[in-house]
Amino acid sequence: MKIFLLSLSIAVSSMASAQGISQSEKQQLKEELKREIKQEVRQEVMQEMSSQVSRKSKPLSRLEVGGYGEAVYSYNFYSDHYRRYSKAEDHKNDQGHGRFDLPHVVIWLGYDFGKGWSMGTEIEFEHGGTESAIEMEAEETGEYENEIERGGEVALEQFWLQKSFMKQLNVRVGHMVVPVGGTNNAHMPTEFLGVYRPVGENTILPCTWHETGLTIWGRAGAWRYEAMVMPGLDSDRFSTEGWIHDGAGSPYEFKIGNAVAGAARVDNYSVPGLRLSVSGYIGNSFINSLSANNPIYKTTGKSKFDGCKGQVVIGSFDFAYATPTPRRDFVARGAFTYGHLGNSAEISTFNKGMSNSSPSPQENVASAAIAVGVEAGYNFFALSPSLSEQGQKLYLFGRYDYYDSMYKTDDTIVKQEWCGRQRIAFGLNYFPMNQIVVKAEYSLGILKKQYNNEPAISVGIAYAGLFK
């Protein structure tokens, strides 16, 4: 910088001599040049400092933080006795029961490493998480006792790394949501109108279904595709009421991987505001049991379950429609899901023979299950320009579900008729803003005539969105 100033000083002196400028004028000119140079240097330094700050803050700008959560209260106007189905008449006039719950609270963290690499994690606390403690009982001989203070589950629902080659091709490896059905695809509380997730799919399928595997996905024009390879389900934990619902995940410190399964999904967005989707799953489940080769199930050196695969095949269609913005005054969603389980009789026999200490419910399981649901809502605040400008919405909605976890059974299995039911619901969704919703609904579970119907009211508040 000194050399630069000296050069300018010589240049000014030369110019002044050539033009006959006085000594005082020369000095004044030098001072003005110095001030201009200092100002330029200051601006350069500030720009460089700003650039350095920007570079330092850029990694933070690649971080995404978000999540969703629900807090609800329900009062069920029917018995919660464990024999309310097997001896329905005895519990026809039982008192109802109320329940407070935190169905799902989720924290999402994502990061863009650059060069096409990114990651995502999602931790879910279901029903308030879990709490346990060890206490010394002063009134019981001073013994230590384990106590469960809160039920629920804590689950790592997603943990994946992704390489994006182009919009049409992305490869993701890790723990991810399985892209089967309408609810697994759209399970945030702002994506369905009821207080709880759609009951049909939530009964017969894992929800939210998450597995460790590899996914390839992409979007081209109005089409999006996704294909996933993952471990198969574990038939030990299939049940009468839930069909394969509890067969995902693992009660162990590892996930059994004797069988590999596949899932796929295709979405179409050709019509503005409308998404049409088909999805499916196929995989064996019996050999994914930790107990499948237990010697107690062998007779004369050969297992009577040899050749049992327990193949699970699921097909689903779902859709979602919303009036294109800015109106967005009408929404409608629906899904149809059908599933088949091979060797259901053998699996039922196997599970019922497991020990009481096993993770199996030891119940019969159906060969087929079904879930159908549709909902629609109208935003009455769309009629008010001032409320619409504020981003507020008030949906009046209705919903219908039919589902049966024992839709078809083997001839050797007694079908539980109470597993098949209809459900109607209507209520309100109030959005003070897009990320927050207050919900209220009345629902009626309609069972076959030998059972008691199940009316209920529910209210809740929920949020969903990215915080950063």
Q: How large is the average pLDDT for residues 246-262?
A: 88
Residue 4 pLDDT class (50, 70, 90 cuts): very low
Quick one: 144 exposed, middle or buried, by C-beta within 10 A (0-12, 13-18, 19+)? exposed
- Say what percent of the chain tops pLDDT 90: 65
Residue 147 pLDDT class (50, 70, 90 cuts): low
Place of tokens 């010589």: 10
For residues 146 and 286, the model is more confident at 286
Residue 381's pLDDT is: 93
- Angle subtended at Cα 174 by Cα 168 and Cα 179, rounded to the nearest 5 degrees: 60
Residue 299's pLDDT is: 46
State pLDDT tens for residues 180-235: 999 999 999 999 999 999 999 999 999 889 999 999 999 999 999 999 999 999 99
Residue 320 has pLDDT above 80, yes or no: yes
Residue 354 has pLDDT above 80, yes or no: yes
Place of tokens 């999602």: 122
What's phi and psi for 359, nearest 5 deg? -80, 0
Residue 253's pLDDT is: 81
Residue 466's pLDDT is: 87
Residue 358 has pLDDT above 70, yes or no: yes
3-state percent breakdown (helix, strand, coil) of the chain, nearest 5 = 25, 45, 30
Question: Can you name the CATH fold of 62-466?
Answer: Porin (2.40.160)
Q: How large is the average pLDDT for residues 363-392?
A: 94
Residue 54 pLDDT class (50, 70, 90 cuts): very low
Q: How large is the average pLDDT for residues 246-250?
A: 87
239 DSSP assignment: B
CA distance 98 to 77: 9
Residue 300's pLDDT is: 47
Identify whether the C-beta of residue 35 lies closer than 8 Å to the C-beta of residue 41.
Answer: no
Residue 328's pLDDT is: 72
**Of 395, 384, 386, 262, which Cα lies nearest the Cα of 322?**
395
State pLDDT tens for residues 64-104: 999 999 999 999 999 999 899 989 998 999 999 999 999 99
Contacts of residue 71, defined as CB under 8 A and 6 or more positions apart, other chains included, come to 101, 102, 460, 461, 462
Residue 380 has pLDDT above 80, yes or no: yes
Residue 284's pLDDT is: 95
- Angle subtended at Cα 104 by Cα 195 and Cα 64, rounded to the nearest 5 degrees: 115
Residue 256 pLDDT class (50, 70, 90 cuts): confident
Q: How large is the average pLDDT for residues 263-287?
A: 96
Residue 35 has pLDDT above 80, yes or no: no
Q: How large is the average pLDDT for residues 273-295?
A: 85
Domains of the chain, by residue range, sit at 1-59, 62-466
Among 9-13, 286-290, 425-429, which is the least confidently predicted range?
Answer: 9-13
Give the chain's mean pLDDT: 85
**Of 172, 181, 246, which Cα lies nearest the Cα of 212?**
172
Q: Count other Cβ atoms within 10 Å, centred on residue 20.
A: 7
Residue 307's pLDDT is: 82
Exposure class string for 334-360: b at 16+ Cβ within 10 A, else e: bbbbbbbbbbbbbbbbbbeebeeebeb
- Say what percent of the chain tops pLDDT 70: 79
Residue 177 has pLDDT above 80, yes or no: yes
CA 391, 329, 457, 402 torsion-angle sign: negative
